[in-house]
Amino acid sequence: MAIFLFNLFGSASIGVYSLATDRMIIVPPQVPEDKARKLEEWLKAKVVQTTIGDSVLIGALACANSNGIILPHYTRQEEIQAIRATLDLNVSIMDTKKTSYGNLILANDHGALVSPQLKEGDVKKIVDTLGVEAVLGEIAGLPYVGSLAVATNKGVLAHPLLTEEERKALMDVLKVHVDVGTVNCGIPYVATGLIGNTRGAVAGFVTTGPELFIIGQALDMVEEK
């Protein structure tokens, strides 16, 4: 397993434009075929090329794990079909004014941390779709938990100002160890510049060596012998 450096649309903020789970990687259709195939090779998951509501901001708008995907209310039918044509998974369209579910939910295949800004009915829908326990919580005292951390089934990398209470809550619900760090030369909103799964990780191209080391530790990128 390895960590690769990458850009999308010339930007190091690759997590804004893409989403990865153990089963799939979603990138905009404007991403060249060779770049999409690199992601597929590195993370060993199927690539889906689609927009979300005609937007390329996939990582900000959608949240997913191996069981399902949460999408905003203006997602188009053909975008849903593109996802379902690639994988058999639960798809839920949230009927709320909020749209940035990638920023509001942090999930892996064990659990989900959900922004306190979401209502009880929304949380129940998230639980049913992702097939995991969900709890309300914050990271670094902020509600945008999906943008402040990256979670795989092996570990979590979170904002450097994560409190000890928040760390314990993350470990309890996601069932993995939690470390803190940055991406792209000091950016604490780690999900903006990092995607990953149990097989590897991809970071923005300006991520430094020390940052890559911490990412590797957090997401347990050590080869098993």
pLDDT of residue 222: 60
Please tell me the distance from the alpha carbon of residue 219 to that of residue 152, in angstroms, as a whole number. Answer: 7
Distance CA 82, CA 143 (A): 30
- Using CA atoms, how far apart are residues 102 and 19, in angstroms rounded to an integer? 9
Q: Give me the domains of the chain, ranges plus CATH numbers.
A: 2-218 (3.75.10.10)
Could you tell me the pLDDT band of residue 221, with boundaries at 50, 70 and 90? confident
- pTM of whole model > 0.85? yes
- pLDDT of 53-62, one tens digit each? 999 999 999 9
- Residue 187 DSSP class: B
- What is the share, in percent, of the chain residues with pLDDT greater than 90? 95
Nearest Cα neighbor of 79 from 56, 97, 111 is 56
Query: For the segment 139-198, what is each residue's pLDDT rounded down to a tens digit?
Result: 999 999 999 999 999 999 999 999 999 999 999 999 999 999 999 999 999 999 999 999
Average confidence (pLDDT) over 130-140: 98
Polymer length in residues for the chain? 225
Instruction: For the chain, give the mean pLDDT.
Output: 96
